[in-house]
A and B are shown apart, each in its own frame.
Chain A
Amino acid sequence: MILYILIALMFFIGLYGMIAKKNIIKIIIGMNIVGYASNLLFVLLGYKWDGIAPILTEDMSFAYFLEKAVDPLPQALVLTSIVIDLAFVAFLAALAIRLFEKYGTFDIDKIRRLKG
C-alpha cells in the first residue's frame, strides 16, 4: 500500500511542477515525473512479491516459472509508454528552443500572444 501512496505522491509532485512552475524546462521535467509515476504504477500492478523476471531459462521447470514469474504484459506496455514519453520530451525540447528564439524567454506567462 505504501508503494501506491508513494506513486501518488510522485504523480502530484510532477503535476505541481507542470501547473505551478512558469519555466518551460521545469514543466517538461514535471511531465517526465508524471510519466514515470504512471509507468511505476503499471509495473507495480503486475508485480509479485519474491517474483522472478518473466524469462524462461533452460534449468527452470515450467510450473516453477508459472508460479514465480511476474506478469510480463505491464512491462511490455510500460516500454511503449516510455517511448511515447520520449517522443513528447524530444518534441518539447525542440519546441522550447524555437519558443526562446521567438519570445526571448522560457517564462510561460510571457508567451501569451494568443487570446480571446
Chain B
Amino acid sequence: MKKKGMSEIVQSVAKMVFPFIVLYGISLILYGHITPGGGFAGGVILTGGFVLLVLAFGTDYAFRILPVNVAKALDSIGALGFLAVALLGFTGGAFFYNFLPKGHIFHLWSSGTIIISNIMIGLKVVAALFIAIAVISKARLIRTKDGFQYKQSGERKR
C-alpha cells in the first residue's frame, strides 16, 4: 500500500517537531499577557503545527488529530467564550470589566480576565485558520466536458 504524504524523513521529523510546536503555541497563549505573544500569535503557531501535519501526512491524518466538526465547534466556543468574558464584566459594573482577582504582577495569574480572553482567542484562531486551510487544501476542480466541477474531496453528502 502506498503511503500518503511526503517521504519518510519528513514524516519522522514532523512527528518529532509537532509536540514542541504545540507546546510553544500553548505557552505563547498562556503567557500572552506578560511576555510577547498572545492569543492570536500563539494560535497561528498552533495552526502552523497542524499545517505541518497536513503537508507531511495529508489532510486525512490531520483530520484524525483535529476533526473538522471539533474544529467548527471550537471556533464557535472560542467566540462565545470571549463574548461571555465581556458580558460577565457586567457583574463588576461595565462591559469587558476585569472582574476576577488580579493576582501578583509578573506571575502567570496576574491579569484577571485577560488570560481567559487570550485562551478563547487562541481557540478561535486555531479552529478558524485550520478550517480555512483545510477547506482550501481539500478543494478540487475536476475537469468535465463543459468546464470544471468543484468538489471537496472526502466530503460527506448532506
Contacts and interface: CB of A to CB of B under 8 A. Distances in A.
Interface of A: 53, 55, 57-58, 79, 82-83, 86, 90, 93-94, 97-98, 100-102, 104
Contacts of A104: 147-148
B34 A55 contact: yes
A101 B132 contact: no
Interface residues of B, number: 16
Given A55-B36, A57-B106, A79-B40, A101 B136 contact: no
Nearest to B35: A55
Contact of A93 (B36, B129, B136, B149): B136
A76 to B, nearest CB: 9
Contacts of B35: 55
B141 interface: yes
A61 to B, nearest CB: 14
A101 B40 contact: no
B139 interface: yes
A111 to B, nearest CB: 13
Majority SS at the chain A contact face: helix
Interface of B: 34-36, 38, 40, 106, 129, 132, 135-136, 139, 141, 147-150
B150 A97 contact: yes
A98 B150 contact: yes
Contacts of B36: 53, 55
Given A86-B129, A94-B139, 10 more contacts: A55-B36, A58-B106, A79-B38, A90-B132, A97-B139, A97-B141, A98-B150, A100-B148, A102-B148, A104-B147
A72 B148 CA distance: 49
* Interface hub of A83, A100, A101 (most chain B Cβ within 10 A): A101
A73 B115 CA distance: 19
26 contacts: A53-B36, A55-B34, A55-B35, A57-B106, A79-B38, A79-B40, A82-B40, A83-B40, A86-B129, A90-B132, A94-B132, A94-B136, A94-B139, A97-B136, A97-B139, A97-B141, A98-B150, A100-B148, A101-B141, A101-B147, A101-B148, A101-B150, A102-B147, A102-B148, A104-B147, A104-B148
